[in-house]
């Protein structure tokens, strides 16, 4: 220490026992972790399609066959429709002609036979002659006209009836085509709605199973890396300062204390010794010298007491 004071700095580096033991434990744990072989996760990590989703997929792939079959049948029936010129009208006329014309022709023939028999039994027919021949010829002509009229009327009515029957048949076929198309559309809409319902419910099931798979994977990783998780807090706890710095500073040396005492003495002298007095100031100076240099003679007052100055 000098005459005017000094500052002393001391730095000490030391590893505590508990820190050294913890460091060795961390090193050993790190070696064990580094030597551990890789351990992969063998469980599933992605949830597959649920049963409802698979059913929806199958329905989307093959469920369209049913509505398609209805539409194909409708197209076939629509393509089979013919115009009136292409239609076989006889198929519509023959039943009518057989039901109407034949009885009418039979009745016309019976009426002709009755008229002819009546003519032969009359006097003109019995005696013969031109008059009888004329009446027989006229009767036959009328009979042929009745036959032709019956045939013409029957065929005319049969044609009109066949046209109406064909028109009604075409209407029924068109209605059947529309019905097949409607059924196909209804089946397609039902399939689409069913697919949506299956997909929604299947998605919920798949999400729940995926959550379980994620949890299982997290549990595996936690168990596998548990030593690593424990190593990090250990390393954090070892990060403490190992150097201690101490600083010591004193107010001043002996010369400083003496100068301070002289100043105090001068102040006391000029102020009339109102504070400590010369004896107290001298005692304080002697204590400072004693602390620094050892025992010395006490300082005598510079000015005799009571000198009046």
Mean pLDDT of 8-30: 72
Backbone angles phi, psi at 243, to 5 degrees: -115, 135
Mean pLDDT of 278-301: 54
Q: Which long-range contacts (CB under 8 A, 24 or more apart) does 148-156 make?
A: 150/101, 150/104, 150/105, 150/108, 151/101, 151/105, 154/96, 154/97, 154/100, 154/101, 154/104, 155/93, 155/97, 155/101
The Cα 282–Cα 301 span in angstroms is 7
The Cα 176–Cα 78 span in angstroms is 9
Inter-residue contact 59 to 128 (CB < 8 Å): no
Burial 190-204 (b: 16+ CB within 10 A, else e): ebeeebeebbebbee
* pLDDT value, residue 77: 82
Instruction: For 229-262, write each residue's pLDDT tens digit.
Output: 888 877 777 775 555 455 555 545 555 555 555 5
What pTM was estimated for this model as a whole? Answer: 0.42
Mean pLDDT of 109-113: 82
Share of the chain above pLDDT 70, in %: 67
């Amino acid at each position: 220490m000098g005459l005017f004071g000094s500052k002393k700095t001391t730095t000490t580096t030391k590893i505590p026992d508990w820190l050294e033991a913890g460091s060795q434990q961390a090193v050993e744990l790190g070696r064990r972790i580094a030597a551990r072989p890789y351990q992969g996760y063998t469980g599933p990590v992605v949830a597959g399609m649920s049963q409802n989703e698979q059913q929806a997929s199958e329905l989307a792939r093959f469920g369209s066959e049913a509505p398609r079959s209805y539409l194909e049948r409708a197209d076939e029936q629509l393509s089979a429709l013919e115009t009136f010129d292409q239609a076989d009208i006889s198929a519509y006329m023959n039943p009518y002609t057989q039901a109407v014309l034949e009885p009418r022709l039979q009745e016309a023939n019976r009426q002709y036979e009755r008229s002819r028999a009546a003519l032969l039994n009359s006097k003109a027919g019995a005696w013969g002659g031109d008059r009888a021949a004329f009446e027989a010829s006229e009767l036959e002509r009328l009979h042929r006209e009745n036959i032709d009229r019956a045939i013409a009327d029957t065929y005319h009515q049969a044609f009109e009836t066949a046209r109406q029957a064909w028109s009604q048949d075409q209407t029924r076929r068109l209605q059947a085509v529309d019905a097949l198309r409607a059924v196909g559309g209804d089946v397609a809409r039902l399939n689409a709605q069913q697919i949506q319902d299956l997909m929604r419910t299947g998605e919920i099931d798949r999400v729940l199973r995926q959550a379980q798979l994620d949890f299982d994977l997290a549990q595996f990783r936690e168990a596998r890396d548990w030593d690593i998780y424990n190593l990090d807090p250990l390393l954090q706890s070892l990060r403490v300062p190992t150097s201690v710095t101490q600083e010591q500073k004193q107010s001043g040396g002996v010369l400083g204390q003496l100068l301070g005492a002289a100043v105090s003495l001068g102040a006391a002298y000029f102020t009339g010794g109102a504070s400590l007095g010369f004896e107290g100031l001298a005692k304080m100076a002697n204590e400072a010298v004693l602390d620094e240099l050892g025992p010395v003679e006490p300082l005598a007052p510079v000015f005799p007491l009571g000198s009046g100055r």
